Structure 1
Amino acid sequence: MTFTLEPLDLNAHADLLHAWVTHPRSVYWGMRDASVDTVRKAYAEIEADPHHHAWLGRLDGEPIFLAETYDPAHSELAAHYPVAEGDVGMHVLVAPPGDTTRHGLTSGVMRAVMEFVFADPRARRVVVEPDERNDAIARKNAEVGFVVQHSVQLSDKVANLSFCTRDAYTRTAPEPPAHLTPETMAAAHRRLIAKAIAEFSHERIVTPEPDGDGWRLGDYRFRARRYPLEHWVVDPESIQGPLDAMAFVAGLAGTLGIPDRLVGTYLEEIAATLAGAAWKHHHERHDAAALVHADFQSIETAMTEGHPGFVANNGRIGFGLADHEAYAPEAGQPVRMVWLAVLRAESAFTAGAGVTEDELYADELGPDTLDRFAGRLRALGLDPADYRYLPAHPWQWEHKHAVTFAPDVARRAIVPLGTGPDRYRAQQSIRTFFNTDRPDRHYVKTALAIQNMGFLRGLSPGYMRATPPINDWVAGVVEGDDTLRECGFGVLRELASVGYTGDAYHRSGFPSAHQRMLAALWRESPLPRLAAGERLATMASLLHRDRAGRSLAAELIAASGLPAERWVRTYLRAYVRPVVHCVLRHDLAFMPHGENLILVLDGHVPTRVFMKDIGEEVAVMSLDRPLPPEIERIRIDVSDDVKALALHTDVFDGFLRHLAGILDSDGVLPWDRFWALVADCVEEHAADHPDLRGRLELTRPEFLHSCLNRLQLRNTLQMVDLTDQAGSLIFAGTLANPIAAR
């Protein structure tokens, strides 16, 4: 959370100020029945008073609080205590809550105002006089070091005269984060150690040994179910041994093959993953039964696991506590994009079919915001025609753009314009945002220079020039295919991209992460494509367990009223059949893991899916298939064995083995029966398309065992080369194919 204070502009903010001070929550402000004119007159008097100042406070650009500072020697207080040199009077009013309340907001505002006051070296002591009945503000005052001296009778109230010296403020510390307790961290350690044992065993990095009715690995003893595909389901509650996931990983550093120079980085990602897990455990809003009926964004917010295969999957290195509260998807807080104007001559905009730059901005921002942005540029003596607009993550603006690109901001090649009108929510991919005010508007994906799951989450302007054409071509293939249409399979196009390239990092000619810090793209929303009665859920939700260990997949099946086999068969037709068809008919491979698929649910049953994240992760696995020249980068030359991994690794090993383990463990559907249904799905496709039967031997006895954690352990800073992802793969022998021909 980034707080800023600026002089109150009464002309611009009179109506907003009136709404704040007359709200029932602002009863102690003493203006409950005031008219707009009365409020305007009162603050006009403050504006004219050289000893009294009013400040508008913003959080990430959004007006969120009012502060006043004054000289007590020129106030009513002068009659009640000996005013000392350096005393500063202070009032604070936090905006009344809207649709949501933000945890820790008032505490953050108090500290922001105190920092603001003490930024003046002449300030030695802050003075406040809250109504003695206002217990809430008394607690917040105490948090930052105020001590009540005595009560005084003022003209409109009995007040608790309170003081906070500079030293007293510096000695205060925030309360320990509520989620970081021994209990929540123990739960996080148990789950992460269980996952580490399971996934490192799956990748044949470690080998647990049988031990009585359980298993042993080093100092740890535990119970687990071991399934085919070398899939382990470890019971977290059964773990006996040191409950310290970081010590567990550090003790295995040599076995895991982490380069010495990167051990600390990987451990930091483990620590951050633990912190995120503890936060989610503490703040769980919906159990699995409630999520059955939840809306799209409530489900997105409720996800706790992240990627099912990666152990360190929630790193977010660069985010602090306040950033997590503001921007993590599980926090579910509204976020407004910071909009930047960038010189047209030093930037690039690419639009897909049916999209123009002007129409995109008009649809996404509206005329009032466009007029405001143009006015801002004109006020700086700049011509709006020389600029285009780029949405930025608030964290990225504060921590990167305003510092790392400071020369470009100073020469007005980059101009901050303020926040846009719409509120968004971060998605599980963390740098992608869903518009909650206007769900029909597009997703926005931004560059975000935090380290997360083996990558700095940037976006390259140069790389993204081809993104809309790639999406257009893929969408054309999908829409023109009868089988895919019958399955209801669709793609969410990334239909426009924008990026700034006028910085020294681009001009230098040396590739670096700094060239991926100022770019964004827009992706279609799935909401306009729903029929009556349909709703959405991330496919990752099928692997979700709540704090008590209950499975959402099991709850959905129960709520549907269908037999488990019929439910799974319907789901596989929506998910597996299109993937098989794309690979066999079009040599087209997606990255179809849980976060990249959006399920369309009808009666709690997944009946069709939308694929997303097309531009960065799609591949055409053929040297012969014609492609438009501008999208040649998606062509790869791989063997048939590797082509088949688009199903075997990305679907079977990457997702379905986890779902099969959940359904078997919960007694919903036996493992063998689940895979028999998968085999039926693949065979039904072959029967319907005899010309494709046997093309890649999808029912071969074994397939290459491609390992995800080994990639991250090898280089946690960049686990694969995006220009040669297939060449980056690490194999550990083969796995028995669960749908092998019998």
Structure 2
Amino acid sequence: MQITLEPVDLARDLDLLRAWVTHPRSAYWMMQGATRAEVRAEYARIAADPHHDAWLGRVDGRPTFLAETYDPTHSPLAGLPEVRAGDLGMHVLVAPPTGAAVPGLTTAVFGAVMEHCFADPAVQRVVVEPDARNERIRAKNLAAGFVELREVPLPGKTAMLSICTRESWSSSRPETSADHLTPELMDRAQRHLVAKALGELAHERLITPVAEGERWRVEAGPSSYAFAARRHLLDHWVVDPASIERVRDGAPARPDAQELVAELAPALGIPDQLLPTYLEEIASTLAAGAWKLRHRRIPVAELVDAGYQEIESAMTEGHPAFIANNGRIGFSLDDYRAYAPETGRPVRLHWLAARRDLTQLSLAAGGTEAGLYDGELAPEVRDRFAGRLRALGLDADDYLLLPVHPWQWQHKLAITFAPDVARRDLVHLGAGDDDHHPQQSIRTFFNASRPERHYVKTALAIQNMGFVRGLSPAYMAATPAINDWVASVVEADDELRRCGFGVLRELAAIGYTGDAFHRTAGPSPYRKMIAALWRESPVPRTPGGEQLTTMAALLHRDADGDALVTAWIKASPVDAATWVRAYLRAYLRPLVHCLHAYDLAFMPHGENLLLRLRDHVPVGAFMKDIGEEVAVMGDLDLPAGVERIRGEFPDDVKALAIHTDVLDGVLRFVAAILDEDGVLPAEEFWAIARATIEEHAADHPELAVAAASYDLLRPEFRHSCLNRLQLRNTLQMVDLTDQAESLIFAGTLANPVAVQR
């Protein structure tokens, strides 16, 4: 079950809270018979109290419990000798059941509230004071590691004062944090990943399945894999996981993704010294798959009208082409639960004060340092941070403020950069006040407390999908200027405006370079560990009545195999062909236009593009991740600070910005889903895609020369392979400064939008 907490909103939650706190089962809450006005007054008082907070808890999105947290030194417990700094008080009320009781619900809720309390590193103990007569909740407290100290008189009750240290909570937790690692769930995860591996390795021509009647067979060393599959255009394989039968050394064996990779290692070309790293990423991907099967079984019917972040955290596949796509090497199990986007847990970013003369802050045109920080941090937070510096005898004017991932502070910065912290070149200021949601890219965060505030992208020394996810201060120095230029091009183009196409600008970038690693001769990942950038939020730019979603959602199937794109089409007022035309007008046509008009190419995969839907139909799109993943492939005049994005590409590679990144990287999956679901035949899907390109050409005869040079409708194109890149070097998949030279090709693919010649 997915459990989240959010601040109580009286305008929304009042009647719900009153029903809960006045229910006969809630007698110990001491609000029996309270009127609506009395409940409103009580929670308005809590909202106004800086030392007391009320939280609405949801289980799988449904309001299920009420929690309160408070500072015991500003409560009726103040003055008791047992109360100390670092304590946090807590109350929790699970809503009265409306149907059959859910086994384990109260325990799960209690655990989530305790984790919420201890998410603040300043909290060392949780304090509770239940009515001494409430034997049931006292038993729950003891099971969670609380120690009962003594009875104390409080207003309206005699309370049992109890405390639970961080250590006691950790040691008392039931061994359910790995409850997803069961034979049944792992078998499903294995079959899913083996099916994906067989399909994508066949697509990249690393293996060649042999037809045997209505089934296919692949020989892999001592094992043989037989399976049912359907082949679509672009040599796209859809392998049925349930159909896979493996025989090893003549005996039946369970499908196993790690063993499949090891058996195929000679054919896959994985260097011997890197094979263990790749196998670890496979294991982590399997663990994530099993966790999602247990804890993220959200039917697509619940996502059709869901909000942006609900959809974001419901995604379960990761990158559609990469086999090892949930590596996250470096996260512990607790880290996974705290920071993986699919767990939906709110995260509070930590902040460093970084000495100004050792730190570079780059701002978009018209931006100011004061404007950036005033927009991102509340005055009381800025005052708290300044007070921390004053307490150390430091001048806040000598520092810039830099957000960091909590994991990065705990595991890297406080250790690997200990001398910098000791010198006060870096000062840990603690957590901010805003809750953030990690996005699918792991290191990027959406502000859940104030959605109008910027995304924050942080450096994270986690190995994931072929890269350590750091950020280079030197590389990012030009990021705001690049974004300014790209945004100016996009916003001034009438065609792009008509398509509803925009970019989310990265408005500021910051990086610290005062460490020993920046004083050494050569580049290294250690130079990419203390940096961040801010990207504008899509929320203020999304018109009312529209739904915002990651484009990755178009490739999402739930645990029962139902596709979200199919559900959206069925919920829309238009037929499937009309829906696809609208989608490709919002997605494909703008990318073709940017290529033909400006030789401008994006990296438009599912994570990098947000769709806007109205009545479940696409009406526009936002591109993001501009600074790192945009290129100009021609001689267009560029400002001096933007010249970095100009690339030298062979003519037969330039068109791959559409052929590989759009047709093969995204649309082959969408087309196959719609075809498999009987929603739209693949041939009709690709005919609409071809018509989208042709209609753009007809509307823009002035771009005919550019269109001819790219020749997007050619009969075939070079087959660029992603898994081959990762398998060649699992530590650094490509050189970001020369991506064209990093590409690996496997012949050609028949172009599904080709014109018959």
Which of residues 308, 312, 323 is equivalent to 1:311? Answer: 323
User: How many residue pairs end up in the alignment?
Assistant: 665
- For residue 43 of structure 1, the aligned residue among 78, 82, 86 is 78
- 1:447 counterpart (454, 459, 467): 459
- The separation in 1 between residues aligned to 2:530 and 2:368, in whole angstroms, is 21
CA 152–258 in structure 1, closer or farther in 2 if over 3 Å, else same:
same
- Give the whole-Å Cα distance in 2 for the aligned partners of 1:167 and 1:557: 51
Deviations 1:60-100 (A, max 9, x none): xxxxx45xxxxxxxxxxxxxxxxxxxxxxxxxx577899x9
2-side partners of 1:338 and 1:634: how far apart? 31
Contact 1:598 1:610 in 2 (8 A): yes
Cα 1:530–1:254 shift into 2, 3 Å: same
Task: Give the structure 1 partner of residue 101 of structure 2.
Answer: none
Q: Is the 8 A contact 2:145 2:164 kept in 1?
A: no
Q: Normalising by the residue count of structure 2, what TM-score does the alignment of the two structures yield?
A: 0.82
Q: 1:296, 1:330 → 2: CA distance?
A: 13
Give the Cα separation in 2 of the matches to 1:682 and 1:511: 43
Which one of the candidate residues 658, 674, 697 is aligned to 1:647?
658
Shift of 1:481: 1.4
Offset at 1:704?
0.5
Gaps of 5+ in 1: 1-13, 24-31, 47-51, 58-64, 67-92, 118-127
Are positions 1:226 and 2:240 aligned together? no
Instruction: Give, in whole Å, the separation in 1 of the partners of 2:387 and 2:217.
Output: 68
Give TM-score, length-normalised by structure 1.
0.83
Find the counterpart in structure 2 of residue 718 from structure 1.
732
Q: Where does 1:93-132 land on structure 2 (aligned, <5 Å)?
A: 104=112, 106=114
- Cα pair distance change 1:168/1:341, threshold 3 Å: closer
Cα distance in 2 for residues equivalent to 1:172 and 1:496 = 41
2:118 and 2:512 map into 1 onto residues whose CA distance is: 37
Residues 102 and 540 (structure 1 numbering): CA distance in 2 closer, same or farther, change over 3 Å?
farther
* Structure 2 CA distance for partners of 1:134 and 1:707, relative to 1, 3 Å: farther
SS at match of 1:589: strand
Rate the CA distance shift 1:97–1:517 in 2: closer, same or farther, 3 A: farther
Q: Tell me which amino acid in the other structure corresponds to 1:410.
A: A
Distance change (3 Å), C-alpha of 1:654 and 1:19:
closer
**In structure 2, C-alpha distance between the alignment counterparts of 1:684 and 1:208, rounded to whole Å:** 38
- Distance of 1:387 and 1:316 partners within structure 2: 32
Mean CA deviation greater in 678-687 or 372-381: 372-381
What CA distance in whole angstroms lies between the structure 2 residues aligned with 1:497 and 1:368?
23
Counterpart of 1:683 in structure 2: which amino acid? Answer: E
- Tell me the distance in 1 between the aligned counterparts of 2:375 and 2:115: 37
Task: Please give the secondary structure, in 2, of the residue aligned with 1:723.
Answer: helix
Contact 2:389 2:396 in 1 (8 A): yes
Paired residue for 1:565?
577
**Shift of residue 235, structure 1, vs aligned partner:** 1.2
Secondary structure of the corresponding residue to residue 180 of structure 1:
coil
- Structure 2 vs 1, CA of residues 583 and 139 (structure 1 numbering), >3 Å: closer, same or farther? same
* Contact 2:502 2:621 survives alignment (8 Å): yes
Per-residue deviation, 1:512: 0.7
Are the equivalent residues in 2 in contact too, given 1:110–1:140 (CA < 8 A)?
Answer: no
Q: Deviations 1:587-645 (Å, cap 9, x if unpaired)?
A: 001000011000000110111100000000100102x2211111211111112210100
Is the CA contact (8 Å cut-off) linking 2:118 and 2:124 kept in structure 1? no
Work out whether residues 604 and 661 of structure 2, in 8 Å CA contact, stay in contact via their aligned partners in 1: yes
**RMSD value, Cα:** 3.5
Structure 2: distance between partners of 1:19 and 1:486: 46
> What do residues 674-709 of structure 1 show as CA deviations (whole Å, max 9, x unaligned)?
100000000001111123332211111110000000
Q: Indicate how the Cα distance of structure 1 residues 375 and 729 shifts in structure 2: closer, same or farther if over 3 A, else same.
A: same
- State yes or no: 1:272 paired with 2:272: no
The 1-side partners of 2:297 and 2:593 are apart by 39
Query: Tell me, what secondary structure is at the counterpart of 1:646?
Result: helix
Q: How does 1:34-433 map to 2 (within 5 A)?
A: 42-46=77-81, 52=82, 54-57=84-87, 65-66=88-89, 104=112, 106=114, 133-136=134-137, 138=139, 141-142=142-143, 174-175=175-176, 177-218=178-219, 219-241=224-246, 242-284=254-296, 286-433=298-445
Query: 1:438 corresponds to which residue?
Result: 450
Q: Distance in 1 between matches of 2:407 and 2:656?
A: 37
SS across alignment from 2:377: helix
Separation in 1, partners of 2:418, 2:460? 17
Aligned partners of 2:613, 2:520: CA distance in 1, in Å? 50
Query: Cα offset for 1:17?
Result: 6.3
Quickly say closer, same or farther: Cα 1:37–1:112, change in 2 above 3 A: closer
Give deviations 1:455-514, integer Å, cap 9, x for gaps.
000101111000000000101111121211111110000010011010111112321101
What is the CA–CA distance in structure 1 between the aligned matches of 2:665 and 2:536, rounded to whole Å? 26
Q: Please give the secondary structure, in 1, of the residue aligned with 2:638.
A: coil
| Separation in 1, partners of 2:500, 2:258 | 44
2:742 is matched with 728
Structure 2 letter corresponding to 1:739: V
Q: Which amino acid aligns with 2:681?
A: P
Distance 1:614 1:18, change over 3 A: closer
CA drift at 1:436: 1.1
Matches within 5 A, 1:460-475: 460-475=472-487
Alignment of 1:663-742 (within 5 A): 663-693=674-704, 694-742=708-756
**Which residue does 1:122 correspond to in 2?**
none
Q: Distance in 2 between matches of 1:648 and 1:140?
A: 59
2:231, 2:238 within 8 Å by CA — same for their partners in 1? yes
Query: Would you say the 8 A contact 1:145–1:172 is kept in 2?
Result: no
Q: 2: CA distance between counterparts of 1:604 and 1:167?
A: 48
Task: Give the SS at the match of 1:43.
Answer: coil
Q: Distance in 2 between matches of 1:421 and 1:243?
A: 46
- The residue number in structure 2 matching 1:637 is 648
Report the CA distance shift for 1:702/1:107 in structure 2 as closer, same or farther (over 3 A).
closer
Contact conserved, 1:130 with 1:138, CA < 8 A, in 2?
no
* Structure 1 residue 646 displacement after superposition: 0.3
Q: Contact (CA 8 Å) 2:130, 2:137: kept in 1 or not?
A: no
Report how far residue 721 of structure 1 moved: 0.4
Q: Is the CA contact 2:600–2:633 (under 8 Å) kept in the aligned structure 1? A: yes
What's the CA shift for 1:238?
1.6
Q: Which residue of 1 aligns with 2:17?
A: none
> What is the alpha-carbon distance in structure 1 between the residues aligned to residue 539 and residue 509 of structure 2?
21
Whole-Å separation in 1 of the counterparts to 2:258 and 2:131: 47
Partner of 1:124: none
Q: CA deviation at 1:532?
A: 2.3
Give distance in 2, aligned partners of 1:55 and 1:729: 56
Q: Equivalent pairs: percent with the same residue?
A: 56
- 1:509-568: per-residue Cα shift (whole Å, max 9, x none)? 321101000000000111111222112000000000000000001000000021110000
Task: Write the distance in 1 (CA, Å) between the matches of 2:185 and 2:177.
Answer: 13
Task: Spell out, residue by residue over 1:122-173, the C-alpha distance to the aligned partner (whole angstroms, 9 max, x if none).
Answer: xxxxxx9995854455356457699x9xx99999989899999x99998997
1:423-466 per-residue CA deviation (whole Å, 9 max, x = no partner) reads 11001111111111111111000001100000000101111000
* 1:489-504 equivalences in 2 (<5 Å): 489-504=501-516
**Structure 2 unaligned regions, length at least 5:** 1-47, 58-66, 96-107, 247-253
Name the amino acid aligned to 1:386: D
Match in the other structure for 1:608: 620
Give the Cα–Cα distance (whole angstroms) in 2 for the partners of residues 152 and 499 of structure 1: 51
Instruction: Provide the C-alpha distance between the structure 2 equivalents of 1:588 and 1:478, rounded to a whole number of angstroms.
Output: 10
Matched-pair contact (CA < 8 Å) for 2:496–2:590: yes
* Deviation for aligned residue 1:574: 0.7
CA distance in 1, matches of 2:383, 2:118: 34
